[in-house]
């Protein structure tokens, strides 16, 4: 499946926090043989959230959104998703009752429990705000522990494909291996090959759905580099 990840939050755009949620989901999905085609970060603005979610829902099999599900003024993700998918924002009584077991602040309860009409609730075992799914969009809290809890319940429904990964460490710089690397890239079209420069060496990553092809690609580059 093809996924687009959308992270919501001014704190990411300002550099106050690192977007670990997107990295976590992308890694988990990749290891199950799925593809993440885009990772997008948007501010806490309803119209901008709506625009990105609407566009992503047309391009990807599934869209994963994190952040902005709390009770404060800048928690507007639910409104943005509802607008993107032409849904009404309504008070979800089931969610409201869950939150009332933890809080008596009706204003906060109403804010967190107002969700797109007809959405499926994904319970959050380590926080207050639940996740939800509407059409091909899943929305999760932004707190990493809460996101991981909700995402863990979602990922199983996406299934799994064969996925294999190998790495090769090469001393020196990319320029030294460029021609031989390109030969391997062109020969093994079904293997994803990435080059990651480090201080004094390069890590080449080979990944794909066929263990045999991944190993062949790695071995071929190693062989060429010995010549």
* 85, 137 Cβ separation under 8 angstroms: yes
Q: What is the pLDDT of residue 176?
A: 84
146-171 per-position pLDDT tens digit: 999 999 999 999 998 889 999 999 99
Sheet holding 35-42, edge to edge: 35-42, 2-8, 62-66, 137-140, 131-134, 120-122
> pLDDT digit string (tens) for 11-59?
999 999 999 999 999 999 999 999 999 999 999 999 999 999 999 999 9
Instruction: Cite the beta strand spans of the chain per DSSP E.
Output: 2-8, 35-42, 62-66, 89-91, 114-116, 120-122, 131-134, 137-140, 164-171, 192-198, 201-208
Confirm if 208 and 214 have CB atoms less than 8 A apart. Answer: yes
Could you give the CA distance from residue 159 to residue 66 in angstroms, rounded to a whole number?
Answer: 21
For residue range 110-121, what is the model confidence (pLDDT) as tens digits? 999 999 999 999
Name the more confident of 175 and 10. 10
Neighbours of 214 (CB within 10 A): 23
CA distances from 90 to 86, 94, 100 (A): 13, 12, 17
Q: Give the chain's domains with CATH numbers.
A: 2-158 (3.40.980.10), 164-226 (3.30.1360.10)
- The radius of gyration of the chain's CA atoms, rounded to the nearest angstrom, is 21
Q: Is residue 138's pLDDT more than 90?
A: yes
Q: Say what the pLDDT of residue 207 is.
A: 93
Q: Residue 130 pLDDT > 80, yes or no?
A: yes
Cα dihedral sign for 139, 140, 142, 148?
A: negative
Q: What is the pLDDT of residues 56-82, one digit of tens each?
A: 999 999 999 999 998 999 999 999 999
- Burial (CB < 10 A; 0-12, 13-18, 19+), residue 161, is exposed
Q: What is the pTM of this model?
A: 0.87
**pLDDT-based confidence at residue 186 (cuts at 50, 70, 90):** very high
* Cα three-residue angle 109-146-77, rounded to 5 degrees: 55
In the predicted structure, residue 227 carries a pLDDT above the cut 80? no
Q: What is the mean pLDDT of residues 178-189?
A: 94
- pLDDT digit string, tens, across residues 187-217: 999 999 999 999 999 999 999 989 999 999 9
- pLDDT at site 82: 98
CA distance 158 to 40: 21
């Amino acid at each position: 499946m093809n996924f687009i990840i959308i992270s919501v939050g001014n704190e990411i755009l300002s550099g106050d926090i690192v977007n670990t949620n997107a990295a976590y989901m992308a890694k988990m999905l990749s290891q199950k043989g799925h593809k993440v085609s885009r990772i997008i970060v948007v501010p806490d603005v309803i119209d901008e959230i709506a625009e990105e979610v609407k566009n992503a829902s047309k391009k990807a099999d599934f869209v994963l959104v994190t952040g902005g599900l709390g009770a404060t003024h800048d928690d507007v993700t639910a409104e943005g998703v509802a607008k993107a998918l032409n849904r009404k924002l309504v008070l979800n009584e089931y969610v409201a009752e869950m939150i009332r077991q933890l809080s008596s602040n009706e204003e906060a309860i109403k804010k967190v429990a107002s969700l797109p009409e007809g959405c499926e609730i994904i319970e959050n075992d380590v926080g207050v705000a639940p996740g939800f799914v509407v059409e091909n969009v899943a929305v999760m809290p932004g707190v990493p522990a809460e996101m991981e809890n909700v995402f863990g319940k979602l990922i199983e429904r996406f299934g799994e494909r064969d996925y294999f990964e190998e790495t090769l460490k090469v001393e020196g710089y990319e320029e030294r291996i460029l021609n031989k690397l390109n030969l391997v890239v062109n020969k093994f079209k079904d293997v994803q090959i990435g080059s990651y420069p480090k201080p004094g060496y390069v890590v080449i990553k080979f990944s794909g759905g066929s263990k045999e092809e991944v190993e062949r690609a790695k071995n071929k580059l190693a062989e060429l580099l010995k010549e």
